[in-house]
């Protein structure tokens, strides 16, 4: 079978941005910033995005474009079959993340529909209870997974690229509209003060916990560690600057996360809701309550949840593509069959998280705190120490000078492994404590 490629450079960039922009930007980022000292946190986070996120993104691009293979097969193609386990770690992370990402996608679908019927307008917490778990959650999970598989089944150009070209500009336009509307709300000035004024004390006294949180978020938001970016780069058919593409993706992803904060906080502050910790559920409950208190809130809710839904979709299909790409490359089967079988299996794996929210935490922490970071660490070690010369060679094709590429290599060799190993250590310790507490 001839391997597929992107139709255009813009198509590739939009697809990668679509993967990056998701629940992580619209929900997780604003809360993390709010909790961790507002604008001061923004600077710590930006530093991690530039010094950790960007170099690892380039690592994945280099592996993908050099090999033209999926995240596991890539290492064999690059003459290091022993390193295939690095790809396995990533693909496993994808498997697990997609299984519950789709459950949360199912919540978004239910909230979108309920914006019209007014179902969450009464008791927002009770509504969340019956939407998030049980039959409703499982059915909505099936629908979301069906949409994801429907797009992936059409292939790289007709599925992923076309969907991204349509959806990513829509996400940006809708967020701008929502932020504009948010600015007119009574709580907006209080919201901006909370979000944008730096609180240095919070930062300095919590640096120990803020730094790993910022590193983890930088990783998650750029879809790193599980081979999405390897897979997407493997469909690039020409040599052009990977550094430029990666830079564009980082800037757009960060801007959208920032914009999302300008959307979320005015709604909450107008409601008098103090945005604190509270996990996946809290934001659904407080935002739903905020929407139902506003005139024409149903319409605003519908627009918000629609935006969140397509953002989740463009991330979810990038994850499914990682495993579909592996199965197609390895077993030479039809894309449609591979997609169908994998979607059914991942749907089944996600069912426990749609029955009991504890499982959602168990899955989420394992994949994010451990597997993603480990995947990124292994891929960086591979490029930094095993495949360094060829890596630099690949990066300079159509791209930056040899000097710049060598600078990148040293960051990948030394800085990234140290930071990621430490983050992994903290993540694993935290996960262990969480398991002990839960079971
Ligand atoms: N980047 C996505 C977000 O911010 O919501 C989530 C994600 C997608 C993480 C794909 C990892 C991944 F491979």
Going by C-alpha positions, the residue among 142, 115, 139, 144 that lies closest to residue 127 is 115
Spatial CB neighbours of 417, under 8 Å, sequence gap ≥ 6: 377, 380, 381, 384
Provide the pLDDT for residue 207: 75
Going by C-alpha positions, the residue among 264, 370, 352 that lies closest to residue 308 is 264
The pTM assigned to this predicted structure is 0.95
Query: Integer distance in angstroms from the first to the last C-alpha of the chain?
Result: 48
Residue to substitute in 16, 24, 326 for testing ligand 1 pocket (most ligand atoms within 8 angstroms of CB): 24
Handedness of CA 267, 270, 276, 282 (dihedral sign): negative
Pocket of ligand 1 contains residue 90 by CB under 6 Å: no
Pocket of ligand 1 contains residue 254 by CB under 6 Å: no
Task: Tell me the domain boundaries of the chain.
Answer: 9-438
Backbone torsions φ then ψ of 2, nearest 5 degrees: -75, 135
**Digit-coded pLDDT (tens) for 203-258:** 787 777 777 778 888 889 999 999 999 999 999 998 889 999 999 999 999 999 99
DSSP annotation of 36 reads: T
Answer whether residue 278 shows pLDDT above 60. Answer: no
The whole-number average pLDDT for the span 130-150 is: 97
Answer whether residue 56 shows pLDDT above 60. Answer: yes
**Digit-coded pLDDT (tens) for 359-405:** 998 998 899 889 999 999 999 999 999 999 999 999 999 889 999 99
Average pLDDT, the chain: 92
Distance 36 CA to ligand 1 centre (A): 21
Pocket of ligand 1 contains residue 23 by CB under 6 Å: yes
Confidence of residue 309 (pLDDT cuts 50, 70, 90): very high
Range name among 36-50, 103-117, 135-149 with the lowest pLDDT average: 36-50
Q: Rounded to whole angstroms, how far apart are CA atoms 374 and 424?
A: 7
Spatial CB neighbours of 257, under 8 Å, sequence gap ≥ 6: 21, 24, 25, 26, 29, 30, 221
Pocket of ligand 1 contains residue 395 by CB under 6 Å: no
Q: What is the assigned CATH class of domain 9-438?
A: mainly alpha
Please give the helix or strand (H or E) that residue 271 lies within, else none: none
């Amino acid at each position: 079978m001839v391997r597929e490629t992107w139709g255009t450079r813009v198509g590739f960039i939009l697809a990668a941005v679509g993967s990056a922009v998701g629940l992580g930007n619209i929900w997780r980022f604003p809360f993390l910033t709010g909790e961790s000292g507002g604008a001061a946190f923004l600077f710590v986070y930006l530093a991690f995005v530039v010094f950790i996120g960007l170099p690892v993104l380039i690592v994945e691009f280099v592996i993908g474009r050099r090999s033209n293979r999926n995240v596991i097969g890539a290492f064999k193609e690059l003459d290091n079959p022993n390193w295939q386990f690095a790809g396995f770690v990533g693909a496993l992370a994808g498997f697990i993340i997609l299984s519950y990402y789709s459950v949360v996608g199912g919540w978004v679908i239910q909230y979108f529909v309920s914006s019209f019927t007014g179902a969450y307008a009464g008791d927002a917490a009770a509504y969340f209870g019956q939407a998030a778990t049980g039959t409703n959650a499982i059915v909505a999970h099936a629908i979301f997974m069906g949409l994801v598989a429907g797009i992936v089944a059409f292939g790289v150009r007709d599925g992923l690229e076309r969907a991204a070209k349509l959806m990513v500009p829509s996400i940006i336009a809708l967020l701008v509209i929502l932020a504009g509307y948010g600015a007119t709300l009574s709580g907006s000035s209080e919201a901006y003060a909370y979000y944008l004024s730096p609180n240095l004390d919070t930062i300095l006294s919590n640096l120990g916990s803020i730094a790993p949180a910022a590193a983890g978020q930088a990783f998650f938001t750029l879809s790193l560690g599980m081979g999405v970016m390897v897979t997407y780069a493997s469909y690039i058919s020409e040599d052009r600057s990977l550094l430029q593409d990666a830079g564009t993706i980082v800037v757009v992803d960060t801007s959208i996360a920032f914009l999302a904060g300008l959307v979320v906080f005015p709604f909450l502050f107008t409601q008098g809701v103090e945005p604190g910790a509270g996990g996946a559920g809290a934001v659904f409950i407080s935002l739903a309550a905020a929407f139902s208190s506003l005139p024409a809130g149903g319409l605003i809710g519908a627009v918000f949840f629609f935006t969140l839904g397509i953002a989740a979709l463009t991330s979810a299909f990038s994850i499914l593509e990682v495993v579909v790409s592996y199965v197609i490359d390895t077993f030479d089967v039809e894309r449609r069959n591979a997609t169908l079988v994998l979607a059914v299996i991942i749907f089944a794996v996600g069912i426990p998280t749609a029955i009991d929210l504890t499982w959602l935490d168990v899955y989420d922490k394992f994949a994010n705190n451990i597997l993603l970071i480990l995947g990124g660490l292994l891929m960086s070690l591979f490029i930094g120490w095993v495949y360094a010369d060829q890596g630099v060679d690949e990066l300079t094709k159509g791209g930056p000078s040899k000097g710049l590429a060598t600078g990148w290599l040293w960051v990948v060799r030394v800085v990234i492994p140290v930071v990621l190993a430490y983050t992994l250590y903290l993540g694993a310790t935290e996960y262990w404590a969480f398991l002990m507490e839960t079971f």
